[in-house]
Amino acid sequence: MFHHRLAALLVAAVLGGCSNPDAGNSALQVSTRVLPISASPELGCEIPATLPPGGLTAVDTSVTPRANRHAEILAMEASAELVAPTALYRRVVNELAVLRSYGWTQEPFGCGPATEVLVGMTETGMQQVANGEYTAWNDYNTALRMTQMTQKFYGYKLTFGGVYNHAAVAQAYAALPEVRYAEPNGYFGGSVDVCLERFGDALDTHVYIYMYGSGDCQAGCINRTYYGFVTDLTGAMEYLGRYDSGRAEPDWFTKARQCRNFL
């Protein structure tokens, strides 16, 4: 299956971020807090979000896309839901504004476009689509507001009008008749990224980790540097510190189980 997906993967260029990642840290209070064990669901780019009874069509997708795409992607990834919950999204918008005020402007690299799924179909299925006779995916296409269907040699690339946990979307499409496989469209080669993880029993402690990589990043980066930040319901942002790969892990990085899946 990999060779089908490779044809549609997007090779990512180095994205812009802080030109000097260490520059803004002196303005932030250095945190001495010890983080609890993460209570976030362990997600990742290939791990589908949990859907309610009724599946995709039972989710209110009218709220997406939001105005702040970066905040929506982070909230969606951290929530374990198909779309970013509104309250979490709004909080992330505010927290990103604080981080930007200190010079941290990097956008989340994410798992991929979060709006595209590749659907490999049988020849029979593709002929049915061409003839306007394939209806098995109609409810999904409507619920997710499909905006474009691009024919490929393996089947179709579907583009949707919202930001979704596309691993869950792919899983749903993969179960349809005449579908050989379905998988998220994705990126590879990212050298910069940011993720959000929620800690504490009430998930009210937010940790942001910014990653900057170097050295053959198309293959995953040889060297990586991580910067951690923590905030809670007070809105005060604190600097957790810097971690360079290959050295002893700080406690805040070791405990960020979900972020380690995304970065």
178-213 tens-digit pLDDT: 999 999 887 655 678 899 999 988 899 999 999 887
pLDDT band at 17 (very low <50, low <70, confident <90, very high): very low
What pLDDT was estimated at residue 114?
A: 76
Measured distance between the N- and C-terminal CA atoms of the chain, rounded to whole angstroms: 24
Residue type, 262: F
Question: Percent of the chain at pLDDT above 70?
Answer: 83
The chain-wide mean pLDDT, for the chain, equals: 85
What pLDDT was estimated at residue 244?
A: 92
Q: How much is the pTM?
A: 0.86
231-263 tens-digit pLDDT: 999 999 999 999 998 899 999 999 998 888 887
C-alpha 184/C-alpha 43 separation (Å) is: 15
Query: How many angstroms separate the Cα of 198 from the Cα of each of 52, 69, 134, 230, 236?
Result: 21, 19, 42, 10, 15
C-alpha 120/C-alpha 67 separation (Å) is: 32
What pLDDT was estimated at residue 2?
A: 38
47-84 tens-digit pLDDT: 888 899 999 999 999 999 999 999 999 999 898 899 99
What pLDDT was estimated at residue 24?
A: 61
Q: Dihedral through CA 128, CA 129, CA 134, CA 139, nearest 10?
A: 170
Helix runs in the chain, H state only? 2-6, 69-79, 86-101, 123-130, 138-143, 166-174, 251-254, 257-262
